[in-house]
């Protein structure tokens, strides 16, 4: 049984690799919780593991594995549920996982259901999922992916076998980003690796035109708060960046789905439109969350520079600007400002207005930092 994809996906996750290989060598559990920070490889490992489970129960393992590894996958026995925006829709969880799990495999002998960002399920959805997690049909395997374990009910987590993923070290990211050095200097690559929090795709984004623009907008937002200039609504640029990214992703997803339709993969026009919109909303949410995290990182760096700890700075390529802003700054308000940014980001899960939340945040930051 070929597990090249699993080996690649867990290249820097030895603990997870051993656990998953042992599961494949025996009989996989009915439910897993892949737990660890964003970008640690959970998603790729889940797809590779699911492909192996499906292939092992197929009459044509190589073809089943090949289709299951595609993203998005056309294999009918691999169901992949990602949140449409900040949260999973309750009806999506009920229809695509809970009710669908009762149906026998379309091919082979196994069905695998993957719930990405499982912490984004509402309590109603999590409670509804308990029965399926506890007593699934013998041909069903569920994989929950979670980057924020506190968002999962203990009753859900306890019914799954936990597979732990650690964040990728920034040194690993820098090594993988080496090809980008022709367009980015070593300090910018080092900054992207640190700011990415172990997420290679995020690091690559930060070295792109869109990522550089987002970093600049986050820096301008914090500078406005420091200088008492938030009345100009600098945060609107973050919303515009997220909106633009969402629209680009929706258009690209729609084009890809139309190409698949021409190639013979049957989907209704409504399904294609809904899928493209979901992809756009997810991307919009991801970019806006990254904007928040970049603001928080700049504030943490200001606190570090003000405290004389430049060696822990993330924005290593912008030390001169950090030094200028940190001159005479008390580190404590800057640290508190970073906490406020993260608190506001988490609050967006409650479906509050993004623009109002950002407005309130930056006026609070101005009072804290410039007051």
- How does pLDDT run along the chain (371 residues), one tens digit per residue? 458 899 998 988 999 999 999 999 998 999 999 999 887 889 999 999 999 999 999 999 999 999 999 988 999 999 999 986 667 878 889 999 999 999 999 999 999 999 999 998 989 999 999 999 999 999 999 999 998 777 799 999 999 999 999 988 888 888 888 765 556 688 999 999 999 988 888 898 999 999 999 999 999 999 999 999 998 999 999 999 999 999 998 898 888 778 767 777 666 788 778 878 877 887 898 899 999 999 999 999 999 999 999 999 999 999 999 999 999 999 999 999 999 999 998 888 666 789 999 999 999 999 999 86
Helix (H/G/I), strand (E/B), else coil: 5? helix
Distance, CA of 262 to CA of 273 (rounded, Å) = 15
Nearest to 291 by CA among 218, 235, 357: 218
Partners of residue 141 on adjacent β-strands = 112
Residue 347 covered by a domain: yes
Are residues 236 and 296 both part of a single domain? yes
Are residues 149 and 288 both part of a single domain? no
Are residues 214 and 149 both part of a single domain? no
- What's the confidence (pLDDT) of residue 183? 60
Partners of residue 162 on adjacent β-strands = 33
Q: The pTM is what? A: 0.69
* Alpha carbon separation from 106 to 24, 76, 135, 182, 254 (Å, rounded): 21, 6, 21, 48, 26
Distance, CA of 187 to CA of 195 (rounded, Å) = 12
Distance, CA of 80 to CA of 90 (rounded, Å) = 15
Residue 124 structural domain: 4-164
Are residues 239 and 363 both part of a single domain? yes
Angle among Cα 29, 30, 32 to the nearest 5 degrees reads 75
Assess contact for 241 and 208: CB atoms under 8 A: no
Helix (H/G/I), strand (E/B), else coil: 114? strand
Residue 199 covered by a domain: no
Are residues 214 and 156 both part of a single domain? no
H helices, E strands: number in the chain: 16, 5
- What's the confidence (pLDDT) of residue 59? 95
Are residues 271 and 354 both part of a single domain? yes
What does residue 162 show for φ and ψ, rounded to 5 degrees?
Answer: -80, 135
Residue 293 covered by a domain: yes
CA 155 from centre of chain: 23
Query: DSSP H helical segments within 152-208, as ranges?
Result: 154-157, 170-176, 186-195, 200-206
Are residues 157 and 12 both part of a single domain? yes
Residue 235 covered by a domain: yes
Residue 233 covered by a domain: yes
Last residue of a domain, one of 132, 164, 196: 164
Helix (H/G/I), strand (E/B), else coil: 31? strand
Q: Which long-range contacts (CB under 8 A, 24 or more apart) does 258-267 make?
A: 260/74, 265/74
- What's the confidence (pLDDT) of residue 179? 64
**Strand 161-164 with 78-81, pairing:** unpaired
Structure tokens at 21: 């290989």
Residue 16 covered by a domain: yes
What CATH number is associated with residue 156? 3.40.50.300
Residue 169 covered by a domain: no
- What's the confidence (pLDDT) of residue 13? 93
- What's the confidence (pLDDT) of residue 182? 57
**CB-count burial class (<10 Å; 0-12, 13-18, 19+) for 120:** buried
Q: In sequence order, what are the residues at sequence separation of 6 or more whose Cβ sits closer than 8 angstroms to the Cβ of residue 114? A: 46, 47, 50, 78, 79, 80, 81, 142, 143, 144, 145
């Amino acid at each position: 049984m070929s597990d090249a994809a699993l080996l690649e996906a867990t290249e820097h996750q030895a603990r997870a690799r051993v656990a998953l290989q042992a599961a494949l060598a025996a009989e996989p559990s009915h439910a897993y919780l892949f737990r660890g920070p964003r970008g640690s490889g959970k998603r790729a490992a889940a797809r590779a593991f699911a492909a192996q489970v499906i292939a092992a129960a197929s009459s044509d393992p190589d073809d089943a594995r090949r289709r299951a590894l595609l993203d998005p996958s056309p294999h009918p026995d691999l169901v992949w549920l990602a949140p449409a925006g900040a949260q999973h829709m309750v009806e999506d969880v009920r229809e695509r996982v809970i009710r669908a799990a009762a149906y026998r495999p379309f091919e082979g002998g196994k069905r695998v259901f993957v719930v990405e960002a499982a912490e984004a399920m509402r309590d109603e959805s999590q409670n509804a999922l308990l029965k399926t997690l506890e007593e699934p049909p013998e041909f069903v395997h569920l994989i929950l992916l979670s980057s924020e374990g506190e968002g999962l009910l203990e009753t859900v987590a306890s019914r799954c076998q936990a597979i732990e993923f650690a964040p990728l070290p920034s040194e690993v990211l820098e090594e993988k980003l080496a090809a980008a050095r022709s367009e980015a200097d070593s300090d910018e690559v080092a900054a992207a690796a640190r700011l990415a929090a172990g997420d290679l795709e995020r690091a690559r984004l930060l070295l792109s035109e869109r990522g550089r623009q987002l970093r600049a907008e986050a820096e301008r937002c914090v500078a406005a708060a420091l200088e008492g200039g938030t009345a100009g609504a600098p945060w609107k640029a973050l919303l515009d960046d997220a909106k633009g990214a969402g629209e680009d992703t929706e258009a690209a997803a729609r084009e890809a789905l139309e190409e698949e339709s021409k190639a013979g993969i049957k989907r209704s026009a409504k399904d294609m439109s809904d899928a493209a919109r979901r992809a756009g909303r997810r991307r919009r949410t991801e970019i806006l969350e990254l904007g928040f995290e970049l603001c928080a990182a700049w504030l943490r760096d200001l606190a570090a520079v003000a405290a004389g700890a430049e060696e822990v700075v993330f924005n290593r390529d912008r030390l001169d600007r950090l030094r200028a802003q940190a001159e005479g700054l008390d580190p404590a308000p800057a640290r508190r400002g970073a906490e406020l940014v993260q608190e506001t980001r988490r609050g967006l899960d409650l479906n509050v207005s993004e623009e109002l939340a950002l407005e309130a945040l930056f006026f609070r930051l101005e009072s804290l930092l410039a007051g």
